[in-house]
Amino acid sequence: MGMPKDLNHPGVYAEALYQAAMTGDAVVLAHWLADDPEAEKGPFWKWYIHFAERLMDMAPHPENGFAVRDRRTSQPPKIGRNDACPCGSGKKYKQCHLGREDNVAWKLGSPTPVIRAMATSRVIHECSVDVLDSVPREKASPMVLTEMAATYHGHGRIEVALRLLGEVLEGDRDDPFLLWDYWIARRAEWLVEAGREKEGERFLLDEFDHPRKVEPWQVAQKLAAFYIDQGDTENADIWVNTAMEGNANNPFNHYLKGMLLHYVESWDEAVASYERAEELMAGFREEEKMYMVELVSESLSRARNRQSLEDEDDTVEETSAGETGDSTQDHAS
């Protein structure tokens, strides 16, 4: 017997919804929840089955655009006064939670939007192109469409990815949970990747003139990254400064500034900018930091060693290519 899954934990709840979408079998899911192959013999089996059925009601499936339905196919099991309390305390129900059921884990509530999004994006990323092609787009939310776009991109279907993401970004952007800033950056990167640099540039410039759900400095930052990527240091300089004027405390702005100084071999200033970026990242959450820390520390050590950013016989470019869209340097050079 292992550790029963604690569905009060958002990450575990999301994982459970993901498992529900992938298995489609309440008994398998109930065993997973109980983490016990003998769970059927235990006093809480009917609860595990109830949870499993509820989770399956709510799981995101491709045939309804990964929208989370809530069909409520099962009712919580009845508990007798002398039954084991489903909280798992080992006491009788009447001596434990009878009359005070409201805030216990075994009353499975609806997942929050964040939990749904975590589970849904995981399910989408597991889907094959064929499954994604079959998704009724009119049922899919903007969040689902962006995750589908990213998955298509991962499968090398860049034109489909761009079309989907383009539709979402041209829509009304009323989803408060979507990171619009992030998706604007991806669209520009993918356009460059598809050899449509001019379109990428036009998109960002237009976005800067008419920003929606993003700050102008955030778009300026994307423009700076775009021009650095294109080797256009003059424009990059203009946009780094615009981004910096808008937000002098954003680490990525300092990182981009560092890259520009790095290019012109102003070593000490580049080092100072990278160090500032590292300092400012200290306040970030771990998952946000991960990929940036790597980028910055890599560049910082190169600047300290008076090494240029683009060193042909070095692997640095390869390691950062996927994340920053540096692969586009092929087009630029």
Binding site for Zn ion (CB under 5 A): 85, 87, 89, 96-97
- Phi, psi angles (nearest 5°) of residue 84: -65, 135
Give the nearest distance from C-beta 53 to Zn ion in angstroms: 22
Give the nearest distance from C-beta 99 to Zn ion in angstroms: 11
- Phi, psi angles (nearest 5°) of residue 92: -70, 150
Residue number with CB closer to Zn ion (96 or 131):
96
Residue number with CB closer to Zn ion (102 or 313):
102
Q: Minimal CA–CA distance to 105: which of 84, 87, 93, 90? A: 87
Give the nearest distance from C-beta 91 to Zn ion in angstroms: 6
Residue number with CB closer to Zn ion (107 or 306):
107
Give the nearest distance from C-beta 57 to Zn ion in angstroms: 25
Q: Minimal CA–CA distance to 242: which of 211, 216, 280, 262? A: 216
Give the nearest distance from C-beta 290 to Zn ion in angstroms: 40
Q: Is 84 helix (H, G, I), strand (E, B) or coil?
A: strand
Residue number with CB closer to Zn ion (7 or 85):
85
Residue 307 is encoded by which pair of tokens?
């090494």
Residue number with CB closer to Zn ion (5 or 97):
97
Cα angle at 196 between 192 and 199, to 5 degrees?
A: 100
Answer yes or no: are the C-beta atoms of 21 and 59 closer than 8 Å: yes
What's the half-sphere exposure (Cβ side, CA atoms, 13 Å) at 296? 25
